[in-house]
Amino acid sequence: MPGPATPPAPGAGRFAPTPSGDLHVGNLRTALLAWLFARTTGRRFLVRIEDLDRARAGSADRQLADLRALGLEWDGPVVRQRDRLPLYDAAIDRLAGQGLVYECFCSRREIAEAASAPHGPPGAYPGTCRDLTPEQRAARRAAGRPAALRLRAGVETWTVHDLVAGDHTGPVDDLVLRRGDGTAAYNLAVVVDDADQGVDQVVRGDDLLSSSPRQAYLARLLGLPEVGYAHVPLAVNPHGARLAKRDGAVTLADLAVRGVGPPAVLGVLAASLGLAAPGEPVTSAGLLARFDPAALPARPWVVTADVLGAGPGQA
* Residue 105 CB neighbour total at 10 angstroms: 19
Per-residue pLDDT, 309: 78
Which residues of the chain register pLDDT less than 50?
1-3, 117-119, 311-315
Closest CA to 144 of 180, 184, 111: 180
pLDDT, tens digit (0-9, with 9 covering 90-100), for 37-63: 999 999 999 999 999 987 788 999 999
pLDDT, tens digit (0-9, with 9 covering 90-100), for 156-210: 999 999 999 999 999 999 999 999 999 999 999 999 999 999 999 999 999 999 9
104: annotated binding-site residue?
yes
82: annotated binding-site residue?
no
C-beta separation of 92 from 188 below 8 A: yes
Tell me the C-alpha distance between 49 and 310, whole Å. 29
Q: Find all residues with CB under 8 Å of 156, minimum gap 6, and list them.
A: 171, 172
Q: Where do runs of H (alpha helix) occur along the chain?
A: 25-40, 59-69, 85-97, 108-115, 134-142, 186-197, 212-221, 252-257, 262-272, 284-287, 305-308
Same fold, 12-83+234-308 and 85-232: yes
128: annotated binding-site residue?
no
Per-residue pLDDT, 113: 76
Per-residue pLDDT, 312: 39
Q: What pTM did the predictor assign?
A: 0.91
The sign one gets for the Cα dihedral 237, 239, 245, 246 is: negative
122: annotated binding-site residue?
no
**Amino acid, single-letter form, for residue 148:** A
Per-residue pLDDT, 7: 53
Burial of 110 (0-12, 13-18, 19+ CB in 10 A): middle
Residue numbers annotated as active site: 245
Q: Where are the domains of the chain?
A: 12-83+234-308, 85-232
What are the backbone dihedrals phi and psi of residue 302, each rounded to the nearest 5 degrees, phi first?
-90, 120
CATH class of the domain comprising 85-232: alpha beta
* CATH architecture assignment, domain 12-83+234-308: 3-Layer(aba) Sandwich (3.40)
263: annotated binding-site residue?
no
110: annotated binding-site residue?
no
Q: Are strands 176-178 and 44-49 parallel, antiparallel or unpaired?
A: unpaired
